[in-house]
Structure 1
Amino acid sequence: MRVALRIEVGSEKGAREGVPALLRLLDEHQVKATFFFSLGPDYSRYPFGDQIPRLVRRHLPAPLISKRCRSNLLAVADAGHDIGIASYTASDWHQDVAFQSADWTYSELAFACEAFTDLFGKAPHCFAALGWQVNPHLFSEEEELGFDFASDVRGQHIFLPESQGVSSNCPQIPTTLPTLDELLAQEGIDEENLHQYLYAACQRIMPNGEVFSLSAEREGIELLEVFERLLVMWKGGQWEIKSLGELYNSIADAPLKRHLVGWGTVYGRAEHIAIQSTRK
């Protein structure tokens, strides 16, 4: 059995505090993951920063994550982990992406790719939508940019996406497992037994294995000990723990089915998220 790790880094705090902690933990257990970075301005230091209207946010001073946390981000690549982009401005993506135009989506990805290339000296090869928030234009841009794969939705297995008439040949590697915060919203689950419930959710046969999503802001800081217990349980159970890149390489030559992408809800999360739907 195998599980792949998808790690979002969407704030300066996550990059400054969570990333080094995660790197130490992953190195200790000899595990590789895929990190997806937001590299633009970070408005999370403002109270309710994600709720401030975008036009107002644009006039607020905010640090560029790629500049303020350069050494921490470069350390991820130096450690041999798979790296890609999430968005350029995390708060804009969370609040606005579902209703945005093709031009806005193109601009957001163009800024993210430019910042990534400036930082790492190469173009990104993969993308993950923060919080599983998407629009149809994203899928066409991912193919246009030549990404190997993307991880934008929740689902069951790797597929080719279609949304509102827009198809893409960029494979989607969906998150298959609940997040730790979603499990914590359930009665009877706390930080002491959380890892056991997540491990129990893995006891099923999945076509491509499981994909577990975590963030530098939560699992890299407050829930780091819980994540470590999970790693211990997976390794003790003889699980293969991989990056998304390694998972993709294992199925790169396999034919993929096309599925619609819809909107749905999961327990423990208030907003609607993108979900793998019916086969075309």
Structure 2
Amino acid sequence: MPVLALKIDVDTYRGTREGALNLVHLLQKHQANATFLYSLGPDHTGWALRRAFRPGFFQKVSRTSVVEHYGLKTLMYGVLLPAPDIGKTCTQQMRAAQAAGFECGIHTWDHVVWQDNVRRRDAAWTKKQLQQSFDRFREIFGQAPKTHGAAGWQMNEHAFAQLDAFGFAYASDGRCMLTERGELANPSAGPHRLQAFGKTLSCIQLPTTLPTLDELLGRTLDSVVIDESNIARTILKLTASPRDHVFTLHAELEGQKLAPIFEQLLEGWKAQGYDLVSMADYYQKVKNDALPTYPVSWGELPGRSGELIVQPSSSQ
């Protein structure tokens, strides 16, 4: 049976307090598993407004109604309002996901700081950010984290090496390259290992294989504007041919206004014969496979501004 691993990025204070718990209930309703990846430090979402000068930023904002999904208050954190410390103030909500039986892992310490800086930072800065996340996770959950999913799919070689140092067996920090229609550019793309500083790392990468909702909403594919009435159908077309997939969703989107779309996807994937699993479940399926090794690579994806960590087309 093909598996579809659900990776939930929880970026913000609001997403942790509201959206993530909504998703816990929705997943339980449909007997689906998933992995929740949490931002564990301050919510400086307002600082992301600096991205306004990046190519493609305004186009994405206009398509995805950022204010509507994240809320004006969230967009003021770190600018006109103090940044709430997510890990300190949302401990109860995070533990609720764990108590419900869901795998929890690290997304980041400070989402905006990591996403906007990590690519060009050194080993000391990178290790400090990751160590803060590691220590805070252990305080909240009473155990060491086992997995990681990078904020904004942004990493550097020091970060990948640190995941090995933590002993993480698997993570989901990157993306598979996609065509304009959202199809895999390389049909064989999927689980792999990475090289950092000339060394093959032990941590298996389980990259996201499908476009996210915010990458598709508002775009025109085959002369049809993708909106909330047809986006689930569009994604289900991409999963019609059975193969393993990883889908990234966001507590701030699918956990709130876009929850009905996610419910359509859950029903559709089950009808297509997928086993809806966590990242840990997916790792158990592939851990003994002979996996390719790739260098750390960057690329652009349709519907998203800037470069991300991507799985290149050829291995080493």
Instruction: Return the TM-score normalized by structure 1.
Output: 0.92
Match of 2:140 in 1: 119
Q: Closer, same or farther in 2 for the Cα pair 1:91/1:47, shift >3 Å?
A: closer
Match of 2:315 in 1: 279
- 2:201 is aligned with 1:168: yes
Match of 1:110 in 2: 131
Question: Secondary structure, in 3 states, of the residue corresponding to 1:220?
Answer: coil
Letter in 1 for 2:158: H
Q: Number of aligned residue pairs: give it.
A: 273
Q: Is the 8 A contact 2:190 2:207 kept in 1?
A: yes
After superposing on structure 2, the runs of 4+ consecutive aligned residues of structure 1 that deviate more than 3 Å are 163-167
The 5 Å alignment of 1:184-263 reads: 184-187=217-220, 188-206=225-243, 209-263=244-298
Q: Gaps spanning 5+ residues in structure 1: where? A: 52-56
Per-residue CA shift, 1:83-133, capped at 9, x if unaligned?
A: 110111111111111111111110011000000000000000001101111
Per-residue CA shift, 1:222-259, capped at 9, x if unaligned?
A: 21111011001111222111111000011222232211
Instruction: Return the TM-score normalized by structure 2.
Output: 0.82
Q: Is the 8 A contact 1:26 1:32 kept in 2?
A: yes
Per-residue CA shift, 1:164-196, capped at 9, x if unaligned?
A: 645421110000001111111421110010000
> 2: distance between equivalents of 1:184 and 1:50?
20
- 2:117 is aligned with 1:90: no
> 2: distance between equivalents of 1:75 and 1:116?
14
Letter in 1 for 2:43: D
Q: Is the 8 A contact 1:185 1:268 kept in 2?
A: no
Post-superposition offset of 1:35? 0.8
> 2: distance between equivalents of 1:115 and 1:232?
35
> 1: distance between equivalents of 2:125 and 2:200?
19
Q: Is the 8 A contact 1:15 1:72 kept in 2?
A: yes
Question: Secondary structure, in 3 states, of the residue corresponding to 2:240?
Answer: coil
The 5 Å alignment of 1:44-83 reads: 44=45, 48=49, 61-83=82-104
Match of 2:302 in 1: 267
Q: Is the 8 A contact 2:48 2:112 kept in 1?
A: no
Question: Secondary structure, in 3 states, of the residue corresponding to 1:222?
Answer: coil
